[in-house]
Amino acid sequence: MFPDGCKIKYSRGTGRIRYISFEGNLLAILRARDGRIVLTFPGGERLHKASQSPRYRVMVPNEISPFIRKGRSVFAKHVIQVDSQLRARDEALIVDQEDRLLAVGKTYLCPQEMLELTRGTAVRIRHTRKSAGLS
């Protein structure tokens, strides 16, 4: 995920890692309050390439892909498949039925809830290709 040559920026106040970038792309932010890694879209792309489906993924129907690419939340009723190891508040890769990466986001529900519920937000989108400034 983080190859040799990554640039790491440290917090001036705490001296802890804050940002991880590679070849000019911000891959991840280390959140100070809880130490969790927050992925950016380029970081999500690297994780997507390095992992096999369904690992770290929430799959949605192809029909709603345009909405997800615009940064809209994933609702529980749209979740087709989800990695059983994910937990609420984890970072997830949002993919379509062909396993194409649409966005990265934060899960709001556990996998069982995503698959069983018909209402509510399952994943809040953080970054899309467009929000990352990529074409």
Coil, strand or helix: which one is 131? coil
> What's residue 68's pLDDT?
96
| Contact (CB, 8 A) for 71 and 128 | yes
| Contact (CB, 8 A) for 59 and 80 | yes
The mean pLDDT of 5-12, rounded to a whole number, is 92
The mean pLDDT of 89-110, rounded to a whole number, is 97
The mean pLDDT of 55-82, rounded to a whole number, is 97
- Residue 115 CA to residue 15 CA, distance in Å, equals 41
> What's residue 133's pLDDT?
64
Q: Is the pLDDT of residue 23 over 60?
A: yes
Q: Is the pLDDT of residue 7 over 80?
A: yes
| Contact (CB, 8 A) for 46 and 23 | no
How confident is the prediction for the chain on average, in pLDDT? Answer: 93
Domains of the chain: 7-128 (2.30.130.10)
> Where does the pLDDT of residue 134 fall: very low under 50, low under 70, confident under 90, or very high at 90 and above?
low
> What's residue 2's pLDDT?
81
Share of the chain above pLDDT 90, in %: 80
> What's residue 132's pLDDT?
62
Nearest to 103 by CA among 85, 130, 82: 130
Enclosing H/E stretch for 27: strand 25-30
Q: What is the DSSP string of 64-77?
A: GHHHHHTTPPEEGG
The mean pLDDT of 88-94, rounded to a whole number, is 96
- Residue 77 CA to residue 115 CA, distance in Å, equals 7
66, exposed or middle or buried, with CB in 10 Å at 0-12, 13-18, 19+?
exposed
